[in-house]
Amino acid sequence: MKITIEVDCTPEEARSFLGLPDVSAANSVYVDNITKAMQGVSNPAQMAEYAQALAPMGQVGLKLFQSFVEGGMKAASGGKGPKASD
């Protein structure tokens, strides 16, 4: 048997439901800083340099965030997380 549940909510409602903090103020500051930094960009190499400076963790940070979200979803649905290896 397969049961599908669809939840229709805003991102703010989802964060509140999952108990995640409201990071909208920090996000606004981050976006403002990126916008100011990108105003002086005149070529792709300069843009890549700014991107590396603003997001030093790159792919590692993305993978870490993805595993955090997946773990939270498993915990919220009552599933068990991955087993720790010996």
| Cα separations in angstroms, 19 against 50, 68, 77, 84 | 33, 13, 14, 25
Q: In the chain, what are the domain boundaries? A: 11-76
This prediction has a pTM of 0.40
**Whole-number Å distance between alpha carbons of 50 and 39:** 11
Each residue of 28-82: pLDDT tens digit? 887 887 777 777 767 777 777 766 666 656 667 667 777 777 777 777 777 655 5
